[in-house]
Structure 1
Amino acid sequence: MNHLTLQSLTRRNSHRGAVALIFAAAQLAVAADPSWLAQVVTPPPMVKTSSSETLQTADGMPIVTLRQWQDKRAIVDADWRDFLGVYSAAPQLPLQVETLRSDRLEHCTRTLIRYQAEPDRSVRAYLLTPHQPSEKKLPAIVAFHGTNAKTFQKLVGLDGEPERHMGLRLAEQGFVVLCPENFLWEQKSYLASTAAVLAPHPHSKAMAVMLADGLRAVDVLLAQANVDPQRIGAYGHSLGAKESLYLTAFDDRICAAVASEGGIGMHSTNWEAPWYLGKVVKSPDFTRDHADLIALIAPRPFLVLGGETGRGCSDGERSWPPLLVGQRVTKLYDAPVRIGLWNHHEGHQLSWESGERVIQWLSAYVADHHQN
C-alpha cells in the first residue's frame, strides 16, 4: 500500500499556504479588529522579551528579515514533523461520511456523523449547520472538546453548562461547526486508547494522531458545499486547546484560532502524558518549545485564553514568552499583531463572557476574512 506521511499530508496545500503566509499582511490589513485587541496583544510591564532560539539563525545570530525567517521556518517545521513522527494513511482516502442522527434546532441542524480517519478507524463528530439562508458560502470552525466523559456533547448543547456550548453558540452566529470526538475515549482508558491508535504508527507521538484527526476534520468541512474554504478557523478548550494549537501551526487552511486553557508553555501542563508528547519533554536535553508553533502560526490571528491560577489552570501571564515570539515573527511580515492573551483570571474554566470573546475573535478574523 502507498503511504502518506504527516509531512506530506499537511503540505498538500503547501503552495497556496506559502503564498497565503507571504501576503498575510495585505490580506488581514483591513479586518475589523475587536475593540479589545490592544488589551490582549499588550503584555504586562513585568513581562520581558527574551532571546529565543526560534528567532536565531544557524550561527546564533538574531533573525531580522522575513527572508531569514522563511528559511528558518522551513527548518522549524521539518524538525517538529520529524519529532512528531510519521503518521501514515492511504493517499486519497475517501471520507466515507455517514449520517447517524440529525436534529433540527432553533438556529441550526445538529447532525451526528461518522467518517473515515484512516484505514480501519473512523471518527464521530457533530456537524452544526445554520438555518439562515445565504447566497455566499459560510465561515466554518473546527471546535475541539475538552476532557469530559461525554466528549463532544457539551460543545453541541447536549450536556450542562450553557457557557461551554461553544459549538452551538458559534453556529447561532452563522458558522458551520464541526465538533470531532477525540480518540481518547475509543477504549476503556486513555492509555488503552493511545496504544490502539499508535499500534499502526509505532514511531509517532500521539499528538501526531490528534493533529492528523484535526486535518481530517478540516477535510470534512471542505467537503460541505456551503463552506467557504478561505474562512476556516479553530477553537478548543483544555484538551481541545492543545489540538487547536497544533492544527493551526501545521495547517495553513486555518486562518485564525483560539486556544482556551490548553497550556502553551511546554511545562505548564501535562504535555509529557503518553497521549500527548511523552516523557521526552521532561528530558533536560529536550530543546523544542511551543514558541516554535506560535511562530509557525504567525502572522495569523491566534488568541490564548488563560485563567492564571487554580486547579488545572494551564495558561496565564506565564504564557507570554512564546506569544511574544509569535508577535516578533508577525512584525517581520509587516502585519498587524493579532497574537495575544486574554487573561480572565477565572481558573480552568470558560465563562459566558470569555466565550463571547471567542465568538468576537472568530467573527472578526474568520467570518469577516472574506472582506480582506
Structure 2
Amino acid sequence: MLNPDEYFVQLYSDLNKTSDHARVQPWRERKADVRTKLLASLGDFPRGLSELNPVVGEKIDKGDHYLERVIYTTDVNLQIAAFVLIPKGLTGRAPAVLAWHGHGYGSREIVGLRPDGTTDDDPPGIHQHFALHLVRRGMIVIAPEIIGFGDRRLSVDRGKDPKKNSSCVALTSRLLLYGKTLAGLRIYEAIRSVDYVLTRADVDPNRIGSMGFSGGGLIASLSSALDERIQATVLCAFTSSFSGSILAMNHCIDNYLPSILPFAELPELIGLIAPRALFVESGREDPLFPVASVQEAVAKLKEIYHSEGLASNLEVDLFPGKHEVSGRLSYDWLARQLKA
C-alpha cells in the first residue's frame, strides 16, 4: 500500500491510546492545562501592545442603522479595518457583537455590501448578511476584516478576485518561520478588537458577544475561550471534531493548530468558553462539518457544561441546511443573552 491514508488513521488511533489517561480526568482539573496548551499551539503573540489609534470614517445612514468604517492598530505595521453598524434610536450604552466572516470576500459580505462597497440587493449568500440581522435587534455590530481576506490580503493577491482568492496559505507559511500561526495572529487581533470595542462610548462593556461563521467560527470560538470579556458566543457551521472534519477532508490551512491533538480535541478547545453562554448552529447537510461530527462535538460540550454546573448555558440548533448561516434561533438568543 503506497498511499499514506492508513498511516494517518493509525496516528489518530495511537493518539487515543496514549492520551486516554489525560482525557478521562475530570474536565475542571484539565481546563487550565488545555488553555495553556492552546496558547502554546497558537504560537507567539505580539508582546508589545501598540496603541489602538482608531480612525473613524464617515457615518452613513443606511435606513434602519448607521454604518461606520474604522481602522485601528493591532501591532507595529498591522492595522484592521472594520465596519461598525449602529442601531438607530439608542438612548444609552448598547450591547456589542464582534461579527466574524468566513472564507469569501471579507467583512463586506456580512454587512450587505458587494466587494466594491456598493449595496448588495441580491439574495444573500451563505453568510446571510448576518451582521444586518444583529443590528436590527438592537446590537452594535463590529465586523473586522480578517487578515488574509478582502482589503487585508497580501499585495500580490490584491488584484485577484476577492471571492475566490485569499492570502491564507502565504501568510501561514511565512508566520511558521517566526514560530507564529495564522490562527494565533487572528485570535490576537480578535482580542485587540475587544479592546477597541471597549473604547467606544456607545458600548456597554458588560454586554459583549461574538458570532462567527465557518473560519470565522474558529476565531469566535478560540477568542471567546481565551477572553472572558466576551459573555455570549454563537458558532455557525464550525463546531465539530478534528477527526470528523478537519482531518477527514481538505480544509484551509488556517484551521490547523500545531501539536494540539495530543492534548485536546476541538470540542474541548471550544469547551474553554464554559460556563459562559454558547449557541451552536449547523446545517444537517453541511458537507464540510458533517452532522455526525457536529453531534459528537455537541455531546462533549454538554458534558463540559454539565460539569461546570450550567448546562442551560449551551444551546444547539441543527437546522435543515448546508454550509451556511441560519440565525433562525441564534439571532434572538444572542439578543436575549446581551439584553438588547
Amino acid at match of 1:209: L
How many residues were matched structurally?
298
Quote the residue 1:145 is aligned against. Answer: 101
Query: Partner of 2:69: helix, strand, or coil?
Result: strand
Looking at structure 1, the residues matched to 237 and 290 of structure 2 have their Cα atoms a distance apart, in angstroms, of 5
1:156 alignment counterpart: 111
**Structure 2-normalised TM-score?**
0.79
| DSSP 3-state at the match of 1:164 | coil
Q: Distance in 1 between matches of 2:271 and 2:324?
A: 26
8 Å contact from structure 2 (residues 183, 257) kept in 1: no
Residue 228 of structure 2 aligns to a residue whose secondary structure is coil
- Letter in structure 1 aligned against 2:198: L
- Taking a change above 3 Å as real, the CA distance of residues 304 and 225 of structure 1, as seen in their structure-2 partners, is same
Tell me what 1:261 maps to.
237
Change (3 A) 1:274 1:242: same
For 2:241, what is the secondary structure of its paired residue? coil
Q: C-alpha separation between the residues in 2 aligned to 1:202 and 1:263?
A: 29
Give a deviation string over 1:134-189, Cα, whole Å, max 9, x none.
23x2111000012112x111211113434712112211111011000011122113
Partner of 2:75: 118
Aligned with 2:136 (options 138, 151, 172): 172
Report whether the alignment pairs 1:213 with 2:170: no
Higher RCO, 1 vs 2 (CA within 8 Å, ≥6 residues apart): 1
> Could you tell me which residue of structure 1 aligns to residue 84 of structure 2?
127
1:276 and 2:240 matched: no
Gaps (5+ residues) in structure 1?
1-51, 64-68
What is the 5 A alignment of 1:354-365?
354-365=326-337
Question: How far does residue 117 in structure 1 lie from its aligned partner after superposition?
Answer: 1.4
Per the alignment, residue 247 of structure 1 pairs with 223
Deviation digits for residues 304-335 of structure 1 (CA, Å, limit 9, x no counterpart)? 2211325x431523212332232223223322
Cα-to-partner distance string for 1:255-283 (whole Å, 9 max, x where unaligned): 111111124221414686433326767xx
Structure 1 length normalisation: TM-score? 0.72
Which of 169, 175, 192 is the matching residue for 1:191?
A: 169
Task: Identify the residue that residue 97 of structure 1 maps to in structure 2.
Answer: 54
| Change in CA separation of 1:259 and 1:317 when aligned onto 2, cut-off 3 Å | same
The verdict on how the C-alpha distance between 1:84 and 1:104 changes in structure 2, with shifts beyond 3 A counting, is same
CA contact (8 A) 2:86 2:135 kept: yes
Distance between the aligned counterparts of 1:287 and 1:71, measured in 2? Answer: 13
**1 CA distance for matches of 2:199 and 2:218?**
25
Contact 1:272/1:279 (<8 A) preserved: no
Equivalent residue number for residue 323 of structure 1: 298
Percent of residue pairs bearing the same amino acid type: 22
Specify the code of the residue in structure 2 equivalent to 1:100.
G
What's the CA shift string for 1:316-371, capped at 9, x where partnerless? 23212332232223223322423243111311123xxx223221110121226xxx
Q: Distance in 1 between matches of 2:64 and 2:47?
A: 37
Moved more, 293-302 or 154-163: 154-163
Deviation at 1:97, TM superposition (A): 0.7
Q: Which amino acid aligns with 2:73?
A: Q
- Name 1:344's counterpart in structure 2: 319
Q: Which residue of 1 aligns with 2:4?
A: none
| Residues in 2 aligned to 1:204 and 1:193: alpha-carbon distance in whole angstroms | 10
